Amino acid sequence: MMRRITKKGWAMIAVAALVAAPVATFGADEITLPHQNWSFSGPFGTFDRAAAQRGWQVYNQVCANCHSLQQAYYRDLEGIGFSPDQVKAIAATKQVPTLDDSGQPTTRPGLPSDHFVSPFPNDEAAKAAMNGVVPPDQSVLVNARAGGPDYLYALLNGYVDPPKGVTVPEGTYYNEYFPGHFIKMPPPLSADLVQYTDGTKPTVQQEAHDVVTFLTYIANPEMEQRKRMGVKVILFLIMLTGLVYAMKRQIWANVH
Ligand code: HEC
């Protein structure tokens, strides 16, 4: 038999909820991420092509030494404004693993249709080089982390001195925004690490902003098309609503 909850019962439930909510949030190591301005946020957002191209440069010169980007193709770079010839030239600077005529492993220059090459031949090799962790593949990393672009940006800028009394274990670095704070990735960015051809000043913040723009594009190459379609659908629905309303008035015109 179901028992009805009395007034007193409801009051106790309300008090319990009021007490529990703040305790629960206090308990977790709550980190608030600062929000950044991204060209691609909002329903009309698009990728800032210049920023994404600078971000490719940062990825290519820095991150690609440790992180793979296995699901992306070199031809995807056309989506951030590189011409087909530029993409061909970029791909040709890479050595892609293949087999020779006698079946022996060898390499050949890359093509636009090739996947991005990985820095390590396999996870074991990556682990051995990286203190026992595999640097995660960056193909969809932006989408896979809570906070997305804001988290990546904060992480790249989050290397600070540890608070007093905290000892950082060997082989790790203190990061304000990494869950648990001890990360095995050495601070990847520093000022003037890359030389931008468009004259932009390569500060750590700038490099981080650019590389996160690039990685967000790589993880969501269809985003702009998806948003354009969304806007069209909304416009269509507005027009349809108007049409249906006009029809309704017409049909009921003689009924008073
Ligand atoms: C020297 C090698 C190295 C370089 C260079 C490097 N990383 Fe990493 N990265 C790592 C390793 C190792 C991890 C795994 C860290 C861990 O789990 O403790 C990692 C983890 C990450 C993570 C995941 C953090 C999480 O929440 O799990 C992100 C995001 C990241 N790197 C972004 C970048 C970006 C962007 C660049 C280029 C600007 C870069 N990394 C350059 C080695 C590197």
User: Which atom of ligand 1 is found nearest the CA of 189?
Assistant: 38
> Given a cut of 50, is residue 26 above it in pLDDT?
no
Alpha helix ranges (H) inside 93-222: 123-129, 141-144, 148-156, 204-219
Q: Comparing 246 with 6, which gets the higher pLDDT? A: 246
What pLDDT band is residue 29 in, cutting at 50, 70 and 90? low
- Taking the C-alpha atoms of residue 43 and residue 27, their distance in angstroms, rounded to an integer, is 35
Helix or strand run (H / E) with residue 99: strand 95-99
CB 216 within 8 A of CB 142: yes
What's the pLDDT score for residue 190? 96
Tokens at residue 155, please? 């992480």
> Given a cut of 60, is residue 112 above it in pLDDT?
yes
> Given a cut of 70, is residue 20 above it in pLDDT?
no
From ligand 1's centre to the CA of 35, what distance in Å?
Answer: 21
**Domain housing 220:** 33-47+137-227
The predicted-structure confidence for 59-102, as pLDDT tens digits, reads as follows 999 999 999 999 999 999 999 999 999 999 999 999 999 999 99
On whether residue 201 sits in a domain, the answer given is yes
On whether residue 9 sits in a domain, the answer given is no
CB 51 within 8 A of CB 209: yes
On whether residue 159 sits in a domain, the answer given is yes
> Given a cut of 90, is residue 2 above it in pLDDT?
no
User: Which atom of ligand 1 is found nearest the CA of 142?
Assistant: 29
Ligand 1, atom 41, residue with closest C-alpha: 63
- Taking the C-alpha atoms of residue 155 and residue 188, their distance in angstroms, rounded to an integer, is 10
- Evaluate: CB of 218 within 6 angstroms of ligand 1: no
On whether residue 15 sits in a domain, the answer given is no
Domain count, the chain: 1
Strand, helix or coil for residue 73:
strand
Alpha helix ranges (H) inside the chain: 7-27, 49-61, 84-92, 123-129, 141-144, 148-156, 204-219, 223-251
The residue whose CB lies within 8 Å of the most ligand 1 atoms, and thus the one to mutate among 54, 56, 67, is 67
CA-atom Rg of the chain in angstroms: 26
On whether residue 186 sits in a domain, the answer given is yes
pLDDT above 90 coverage of the chain, percent: 85
> Which pTM does this prediction carry?
0.85
Specify burial of residue 116 (Cβ count, 10 A radius: 0-12, 13-18, 19+).
Answer: buried
Ligand 1, atom 39, residue with closest C-alpha: 63
On whether residue 248 sits in a domain, the answer given is no
On whether residue 39 sits in a domain, the answer given is yes
User: Which atom of ligand 1 is found nearest the CA of 182?
Assistant: 18
CB 208 within 8 A of CB 195: no
Q: What is the CATH number of the domain that holds 147?
A: 1.10.760.10
The residue whose CB lies within 8 Å of the most ligand 1 atoms, and thus the one to mutate among 68, 138, 185, is 185
Ligand 1, atom 28, residue with closest C-alpha: 152
Q: What is the DSSP letter of 175?
A: B
On whether residue 211 sits in a domain, the answer given is yes
